[in-house]
Amino acid sequence: MKFLNQPHTTIDDAWILAQRGPKNSVDPTRPYAFLDERERALDGRIVDVATLFLTNRECPFRCLMCDLWKNTTDVSVAPGAIPGQIEWALERLPSADHIKLYNSGNFFDTNAIPPADYPAIAGLVENYDTTVVECHPKLVGKRCFEFRELLPANLHIAMGLETANTAVLEALNKRMTLDDFEQAVSALRSHGMEVRTFILLRPPFLTEEEGVFWAKRSIDFAFDVGVECCAVIPTRAGNGAMDILAKHDEFEPPIIRSLETVHEYGIRKQSGRVFVDLWDAQKLYGHEIDVDLRIDRLSRMNLSQSVEPPIRTSDETGRV
């Protein structure tokens, strides 16, 4: 694999932080977003999911591509704040079968989610069939297993693999190796938890073709080590660092055909669920031919986990 260009500077925490703009104003007593969505569950049913984006302290891992820091606090939230956020959001959401508690980082980072709040959180989610929380592989450990014991139902852990390309993974400042990821999956599975992972489509330093190739290989790797569900995320700019890389021709967002190709590949493997992230897809792909039809197709495939015939367009530029 050859980078488009070698990174023009040392990519580390200090450089990434220096490229940032201001954070958004957030209320530590409220989740910064919440929504209800539909998703294909592990058993094949289409279920309702309550998805909460909790407000808490920023993640200590400064990954190159991450923009989740924009909606975080600079200091730890007070004990009781996280259960309060969850309760407030659930009072405003319709009933659901499953719940996702995403916190812009790591649920088991004690500076983000106070462990003293675990029992209260467990009580709030006890009636859901599945609870999903997110965590960096390096923070999978005792606290994770203890929280699992508090829940009467299933706990799934979402972890960012990002890419199986070791050179790019290191450049992302992820501070983990593929071995770290595999060991974390093994530990979670041994404690009765399923794992879903996030995979980047065309992270920086890759061409379009390399981006597709490595997204496929990342899906292969994830399923090979025991992941149950892969969520493919088209890499975006907008966090400062990625915008600088774009100016230096070291990053460009993937085209929608690449997203379609990787989604089709993952579903056809029949190794587990494969979703594509369609958050802001209209904004990202608004310039593409027949974008609405193509996004609708990807959305249906997320639910059906079967490949539909492609949308035939009149585009002659190779973006079909």
CATH number of the domain encompassing residue 238: 3.20.20.70
Enumerate residues 6+ apart whose C-beta is below 8 A from 160: 63, 134, 136, 174, 197, 198
When pLDDT is averaged across residues 242-269 and rounded to a whole number, the result is 97
Chain mean pLDDT for the chain: 95
22 lies in some domain: yes
Confidence of residue 301 (pLDDT cuts 50, 70, 90): very high
313 lies in some domain: no
Domain interval for residue 244 = 16-304
**Does pLDDT of 68 surpass 70?**
yes
Number of domains the chain contains: 1
Residue-wise pLDDT for 77-135, tens only, equals 999 999 999 999 999 999 999 999 999 999 999 999 999 999 999 999 999 999 999 99
When pLDDT is averaged across residues 7-28 and rounded to a whole number, the result is 90
Sheet holding 154-162, edge to edge: 33-40, 46-53, 98-102, 130-134, 154-162, 194-201, 229-234, 273-276
129 lies in some domain: yes
254 lies in some domain: yes
Residue-wise pLDDT for 134-154, tens only, equals 999 999 999 999 999 999 989
Enumerate residues 6+ apart whose C-beta is below 8 A from 150: 118, 119, 122
Query: Rounded distance, CA 14 to CA 7, Å?
Result: 15
Residue-wise pLDDT for 150-185, tens only, equals 999 899 999 999 999 999 999 999 999 999 999 999
Confidence of residue 55 (pLDDT cuts 50, 70, 90): very high
310 lies in some domain: no
pTM: 0.94
72 lies in some domain: yes
4 lies in some domain: no
319 lies in some domain: no
